[in-house]
Structure formats: structure tokens, C-alpha cells
């Protein structure tokens, strides 16, 4: 028995170095845990984690990513926001890209891979057995082994090239935050929230940030 991790309770903590879309994902995950929607909370946590990995890879250098990608045309380097740049890149492969670039270590790689398979599990009986403490456990591990780690930079790149890497402009940050979710996991998440609103106690309103995310 333990309390919710700081990453869920207070993702605004500056030690996490999160951006708006990540913060909303972890806040949403916490609220879904509180209403016992544990399976859907995994989708929200995954969303925050994959955005964090994408940012770390971009910070390290897209040219480095291109050296290990199967097909670099899948990455849209002309797009003005994070989601569109990574839209055609397989999310599972992103975990391996981060590990192969030495952006994350093998422990973080295995934890993130575990999260991927947890949220991808379609076995209803197993999902019914999921509880908040399993969610808290995987989140504690992610907080320690990924979120709290510093963003790595490729020291081989000179200062000019580093400055030319993707720097998130205000319009980029705005676009990322306001894009409508498109993945089937996010659509299921929205559907679950809407069903809860209709069937639940009218006095138990859903927090406003969930509506903003959806």
C-alpha cells in the first residue's frame, strides 16, 4: 500500500521538466485512476511517456535518429509540431531508437516496454484484475528511470548545429497542446470518459482538464 507518485499528483513539478501535453496526460491518468478506469489510465501514461521520448530524441539530434531509422521518410521534419513530425513513426520502435542512441538505459527501456504491453493487453479478464497499485508501481519506475533523468545532448555536434536542432517555438507548443487526439487508444479513452459522465453521479463532475485533453 502506497500513495500516488508525484508524477501523477503533481506533474507541474519543475523537476520533471514536462511540457503542457505531457502534464495534461499525467493529470488525466491520475483522474482516471481515481475513478477506477485503470486500463484507460495506462493509455494516458503512455501518451505522456511517448511524447517525452520524442522530445528527448529531437533534443539529441534528428540527424542521429536518421542514422538508425529503417525509413527516415517516416519522420516529417517539415512539420511544425511534435505530433505531426512523429505521426508516421511506429511508437514501439521509438523505444528502441531511444535505447540505441543511448538516450535511455536498458532499465528504462524495459520499463517503457512493459508499459507498452500493459496498455496493449486486450485480455478483459486480466484487465479486470488491474488495480491502482500496479499503476502506481509502473509510474514510480517511470518517474525515477525516465522523467527525472536529464535530457542528453550529443556533445559531438558543434554549437551552431545544436542551435539548428528542433527548438520548440511558442506556435509549436500551442499546436501540440491543441491537436485533437487521433489514435484509437485516445478515442477509447474519450469514449470511456463520456460514458462515465452519462452514467455516473451528476454531483461527481469530471475535472475540467480532462475535457480540455479530449
pLDDT at residue 46 greater than cutoff 90: yes
Give the Å distances, CA to CA, from 3 to 20, 56, 127: 24, 28, 21
Q: Using CA atoms, how far apart are residues 80 and 121, in angstroms rounded to an integer?
A: 33
Q: Using CA atoms, how far apart are residues 193 and 177, in angstroms rounded to an integer?
A: 19
Question: Could you tell me the pTM of the whole model?
Answer: 0.77
pLDDT at residue 201 greater than cutoff 90: no
Average pLDDT, the chain: 84
Q: Would you state the pLDDT for residue 124?
A: 87
Mean pLDDT, range 61-85, rounded to an integer: 95
Amino acid at each position: 500500500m502506497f500513495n500516488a507518485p508525484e508524477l501523477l499528483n503533481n506533474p507541474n513539478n519543475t523537476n520533471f521538466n514536462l511540457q503542457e501535453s505531457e502534464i495534461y496526460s499525467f493529470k488525466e491518468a491520475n483522474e482516471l485512476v481515481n475513478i477506477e478506469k485503470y486500463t484507460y489510465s495506462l493509455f494516458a501514461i503512455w501518451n505522456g511517456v511517448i511524447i517525452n521520448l520524442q522530445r528527448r530524441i529531437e533534443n539529441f539530434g534528428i540527424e542521429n535518429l536518421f542514422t538508425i531509422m529503417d525509413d527516415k521518410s517516416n519522420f516529417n521534419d517539415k512539420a511544425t509540431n511534435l505530433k505531426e513530425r512523429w505521426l508516421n513513426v511506429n511508437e514501439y520502435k521509438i523505444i528502441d531508437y531511444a535505447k540505441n542512441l543511448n538516450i535511455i538505459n536498458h532499465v528504462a527501456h524495459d520499463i517503457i516496454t512493459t508499459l507498452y504491453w500493459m496498455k496493449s493487453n486486450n485480455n478483459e479478464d486480466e484487465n479486470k484484475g488491474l488495480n491502482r497499485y500496479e499503476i502506481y508501481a509502473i509510474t514510480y519506475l517511470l518517474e525515477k528511470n525516465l522523467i527525472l533523468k536529464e535530457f542528453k545532448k550529443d556533445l559531438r555536434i558543434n554549437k551552431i548545429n545544436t542551435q539548428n536542432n528542433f527548438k520548440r517555438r511558442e506556435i509549436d507548443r500551442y499546436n501540440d497542446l491543441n491537436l485533437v487526439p487521433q489514435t484509437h487508444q485516445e478515442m477509447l479513452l474519450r469514449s470511456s470518459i463520456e460514458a462515465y459522465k452519462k452514467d455516473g453521479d451528476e454531483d461527481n463532475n469530471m475535472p475540467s482538464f480532462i475535457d480540455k485533453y479530449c
